[in-house]
Chain A
């Protein structure tokens, strides 16, 4: 009878051989290589502050539905988002603080087309997307100062 260590080696070898069939798919590696094109060039990063989907106990909205809320910050600027799914469609309700009227562009990793909206005099905005995916918001300052881009989030 072999020593346990030798037997472990045999089992590891067997698993390794079997798992070789599950190497990273080429398209996943290609997509990762293409991700560098999303590097921020002329914008400040708004970091992910919180994402309720990672909370242990998600907040309950009226009626008991769970609403996902996500927030980002870049210096003084805070961007709060609620994600409301409706089948494939996603409606984003947002709030900029300090209150500001800005152009907000949603960028989507799967498509070059971007959707935009403008925040109102209370800093609120609403954007509807036809499908989910991985997105970020770019908030352009109409006057001086750099644009802000949020971290990417899957929605």
Chain B
């Protein structure tokens, strides 16, 4: 099985006021293609920091992050953008949809910056991703016309549309009621099982934890158990 993510002895610290916080300390892990992995831990344990490092949203102080065979350290900012666009999908806790764009346009967004793509191909990919999350009847709706669960589905479709090697989700059910959260969990599991999409997400949601293949517990910036 090929590794989508390989992390070797990484360190990350940041300043909180004048205090230096060691968020990640000598952490190593791998994520294999097709895995459905949850990253759990108390607040401040370093979950989101780790997710940001894997998503090339932040840089490590020391160590190596290899995403889809690319050593992130050696990439320029533009190359990291391309890597994020082609290999990684993001699902944010607060959806992060563009309010002025329709469901279709939000999902289409990552593909609009790719060069030389056939418009028909883009349309079929977007419609397929929207259908996968069950929002085919809402393509012209704007985010403010959707419920929280529907918005998160749009975010999932946006993450799916580029066929990424990895989808990173930061507390994807945190802003949803339990019934909607269930549906989102079901959707993610379904996409993982039927389409082989690799999910790596951090969560506090025990319902979600009980349904994942692999749980990585993190404490004080280090992996406690796998």
Is B one of A's binding partners? no
